[in-house]
Amino acid sequence: MTTDPEHLELPLAGGDVTEGVVRVGRTVRRPVSDTSTVVRRVLAHLHDVGFVGAPRFLGVDEEDRDILDFVEGEVAGRPWPGWVADPERVASVARLVREFDDAMEPLGVPPWAERPYSPDIAGLPAPIAGPPTFIGHLDITPENVVFRDGRAWALIDFDLARPATRAEEVSNMLLWWGGWMPEADREAATRDVDPAVAGALIVTAYGLEEAERSNLVELASNLADRSWFLMKWRAETMGGGWLRMWEEGAGDRILRRAQWLRDHRKDLQRAVGAAR
């Protein structure tokens, strides 16, 4: 331990999963995990193509932690601040994610990005997303977006980055920024969001093509159904934060979301299908 301010370790709360994320001066240190290799390559690629909306990977420290740039700005903590529901902010998130996805697209789906996704989980529904076309972020929660001057500036926390389609990436945003879950399960800040209005805003700001909008709600349902099995599997095989979230009712929340999506399917699909 040191009292030198440049070396002081300030804990960074916010996420559910990674323990021991700290700020040290102008850097962030994250314990190396089995996803670090993918994350480092993704960040290196983004740097190579000149995408500035992500931290740079700077190396590994003497405690075997990844060193990243600390991105100055405003990040939501818990409870989420009211601005998480601000339509201009939400649209700016969708535009930033679009830029990120466009920056990732030239890389395609390299072999190192494939995840050992345990295909033999009993009961796991088949995916309907279609073949992935790029490495998506897929964890676009308010805690993982840095804002500057009231608009989304950078994405952080690439631990769940994996091969995706654009519709999958947008589905992930709809969850956290579009209120696509039962009101009672939402954070207070997004409880009054109208999922049809926010959904249309997000697909429009992202510029999701018509073909990919046409079965977006069905895809969201399929992803919810699958995520129940995948999350249970992660809780059982990985433990840690995954197990804690499961024990705190994450599985039941997913089941309620799947039902909510079925109940609101028509209205939601009309909204995102017709959005321009």
Ligand X SMILES: Nc1ncnc2c1ncn2[C@@H]1O[C@H](COP(=O)(O)OP(=O)(O)O)[C@@H](O)[C@H]1O
Please report whether residue 66 would count as binding ligand X according to CB under 6 A: no
143 binds ligand X (CB under 6 A): yes
Instruction: List the Cα angle 66/230/272 in 5-degree steps.
Output: 95
Using the minimum distance from each CB to Mg ion, give the nearer residue, 143 or 225. 143
Listed in sequence order, the residues at least 6 apart from 221 whose beta carbon sits closer than 8 Å to its beta carbon are 258, 261, 262, 265
> Does residue number 223 form part of the binding site for ligand X (CB under 6 A)?
no
Looking at beta carbons only, is 187 or 194 nearer to ligand X? Answer: 187
Q: Closest CB to ligand X among 158 and 228?
A: 158
Binding-site partner at residue 203 among ligand X, Mg ion, none, CB < 5 to 8 Å by type: none
Q: Quick one: which of 159, 168, 169, 225 contacts ligand X (CB under 6 A)?
A: 159
Shortest reach from residue 208's CB to ligand X, in Å: 25
Rounded to 5 degrees, φ, ψ at 31 are -55, 140
From 15-23, 33-41, 202-210, 265-273, span contacting ligand X (CB under 6 A): 15-23
Please tell me the distance from the alpha carbon of residue 18 to that of residue 191, in angstroms, as a whole number. Answer: 27
For the bound state, the minimum distance from the C-beta of residue 182 to Mg ion, rounded and expressed in Å, comes to: 23
Positions that interact with Mg ion (CB under 5 A): 15, 143-144, 157
Residue 17's binding partner among Mg ion, ligand X, none (Cβ under 5 to 8 angstroms by kind) is: ligand X
From the list Mg ion, ligand X, none, pick the one residue 223 interacts with, judged by a Cβ distance below 5 to 8 Å according to partner type.
Answer: none
Instruction: Check binding of 51 to ligand X (CB under 6 A).
Output: no
Angle at 72 between CA 66 and CA 74, to 5 degrees: 115
Total binding residues for ligand X by CB under 6 A? 20
- Least CB distance from residue 84 to Mg ion, whole Å? 14
Cα–Cα distance between 220 and 258 in angstroms, integer?
A: 8
Is 156 near ligand X (CB under 6 A)? yes
Q: By CB under 6 A, name the one of 66, 157, 169, 225 that touches ligand X.
A: 157
251 token code pair: 């599985």
Closer to ligand X by Cβ: residue 157 or 212: 157
Distance set, CA 128 to CA 19, 150, 187, 222 (Å): 33, 36, 29, 7
> Which residues have C-beta within 8 Å of that of residue 229, sequence separation ≥ 6?
121, 123, 124, 125
Contact set for ligand X, span 67-86 (CB under 6 A): 68-71, 75
Give 210: exposed, middle or buried? Use CB within 10 Å, 0-12, 13-18, 19+.
exposed
**Where along the sequence are the contacts to ligand X (CB under 6 A)?**
12, 14-15, 17-18, 21, 28, 30, 55, 68-71, 75, 143-144, 146, 156-157, 159
